[in-house]
Amino acid sequence: MSIITITVKCDLDNDEIFGRVHVQTTADRTLDWLLDEFCTEKRVKRKETFALRRNAANPELDLAKTIAESGLTDGETIFAYNKNPPPPPPDLPKVPPPALSTWWILAALALAIGAIGLIVLVVVHLTLIRGHRGRGAHSTKAYIYAWRSSKYRGNGVVLQKATAHTSLPIQVAGGLSQMREAVSAVRPAVPEKLEKQTKLYLGATAGMRMYRSVNASKAEAVLSDARKILRPGGSGGFHFEVGGVRILEGDEEARAGWLAVNFLKGGFGDLPAREAAQNAGSTANPPPDLPATFGSLDLGDGSVQVAFESPPDSPPDSPDTRPLTVYGRTRRVYAHSFGCYGLGAAQRRAIGRAIADAGYDDGKPVDFPCWQLGTRQRGVRPPCSDGLFTVPAAKVDARFLVSGSGDASRCRLLAARFFNSLCNQTSCSFNNVYQPDPVGKFVAFSGFYHVADFFNLTANRRAASRPSANLTEVSILVDSFCSRSYRPSGSVSEARLRWLCFDGIFVESLLRGLGFNDSNWSNIEFLDKTRTDNKLAWPLGYMILQSASSPTEGLIWAVPLPLFICLIVLFVLLLALAVLFACIALRTSRGKRKGYKPF
């Protein structure tokens, strides 16, 4: 039997099976065999619903018949098809691209988060400002201090930004007005945007402590008036956050002075370098061999403060000795304040004592050995405290003419009457006040410095003019000055020059009372400021303490440098995403205008 060719063309409605198959066979083969050959050639599994037909208009061919019986001839084309094709899959819903508003919302969110994050990080690493006003016995001083919010081991590395001072204390007429002027003078040092988060502290010291001891209700009224001026929206017109307005106790002032001394003299180590290392991500502990701390001697107008690290062999429960934690270390610090032993208070007590010794006779000049010969003044301020001298009722309003005699020996005896050597403690300074022996180096500042500077006893002058001076030589130097006749000097005010004889003798007596002598005199350094911008004063130490309790307030917290960099990168990426979303939003809006095309 001859060979014929039958062409089977695919009509299965299957996108995966298409084309045609040319089958060479004999006419006695069945159509069923022909369909099998087609499926084999196309590599498709045959289904029961597959069939053959001549074309769409002709009925199905009987697969049991042969090619000849079906009337197919050589070269004819037939179609393989599916009798019961599966229903077409449902149309998938077209997902339109995000609406224009959605892309813009995403862009806005990314922009807001990125921008706000960057701004907050910058604010975190900006310097925070803190204000402080210190009120001395007879003046008011305003300081602006700043430190980074990151701090170092719990305390800020403080930098002085501005200072201002007045001549009146706040408890006298015009004092509160001058206080307002002092704060206004330093106000420009605070950036306007930081003013509302800048804390302002008022710490009243010896003058207000003495005022409180005489009339507590009036002292509180003065503080209340000060709060009204300083508070936000108050009569002072300030916007600072008031951190505290109160009278500092003497030991607080002494510890603050000790902190200031050691901060500036390196008693706590190289704090700026360690803060920088901490901010760079270093977690190393400070070296154990920190330098020894310095003692502090602070002579104000109304009181004198002494503070130093208590020796290891001192009793653990000794009076005036407390643990003080600063920059991650705890030390036991002895601190004491002697009220009425400031320079101004001592001057008033001395002249009051001389008037009392003269029997309150206002008919003739009162001899005062602590002024140089030729010094005269009418009218005397009252002594440091009421009850120290009993003024006759008839002499309460009397005015006395005081005349200097320049007798250093008698002046020294007069000053010595203020120092009682009685001691019922294991160790005392004077007036039966417990004090360990002063050990180590000391820094004397404030009134101590100004008196020492006049007598060429400060570090720079001592090295040049009297490198081997001891306390005995200081006594000789002061005695020589006292014996001179009074002669006004253009470089020193008349009011100060009048008292320098007494000041020198009183400072010498005070230092002896605090335990200093010829053998340890060289341990004292008289200092006013260091190479930094910070003036040596107790408000600096007070701010160091306050920095520990001034947290990372509000949105301000400490961020180590590695985390800071990572967050910067993150927020910059968010800003880049904001730009990308905005571009997509613009493209989508153009596509809608032209008709949507999927992409």
Q: Are strands 401-404 and 442-446 parallel, antiparallel or unpaired?
A: unpaired
DSSP-assigned letter for residue 525: E
Beta strands 20-26 and 3-11, pairing class = antiparallel
Phi first, then psi, for residue 466 (nearest 5°) are -150, 70
Q: Token digits for 376?
A: 């005269």
State how far the Cα of 18 lies from the Cα of 363, in Å rounded to an integer: 139
Helix ranges (DSSP H) in 157-214: 175-186, 206-214
Residue labelled with tokens 């470089």:
491
Three-state SS for 93-155 is: CCCCCCCHHHHHHHHHHHHHHHHHHHHHHHHHHCEEEEEEEEECCCCEEEEEEEEECCCECCE
Which of 546, 371, 347 shows the shortest CA–CA distance to 447?
A: 347
CB count, 10 Å around CB of 141? 18
From its phi and psi, is residue 377 left (phi > 0), alpha (psi between -120 and 50) or beta?
beta
Cβ contact 300:450 at 8 Å: no
DSSP 296-327: EEEE-SSEEEEEEEPPTTS-TT-TTEEEEEET
Q: How far apart are CA 229 and CA 223, in angstroms?
A: 10
* Sheet of strand 3-11, all strands in order from the earlier edge strand to the far edge: 20-26, 3-11, 77-82, 50-53
Distance, CA of 142 to CA of 131 (rounded, Å) = 8
SS3 content of the chain, % helix, strand, coil (to 5): 40, 20, 40
Q: What is the DSSP letter of 65?
A: S
Segments in 17-99 forming alpha helices (H): 31-42
Contacts of 85 (CB under 8 A, 6+ apart): 12, 13, 49
Residue numbers annotated as active site: 253
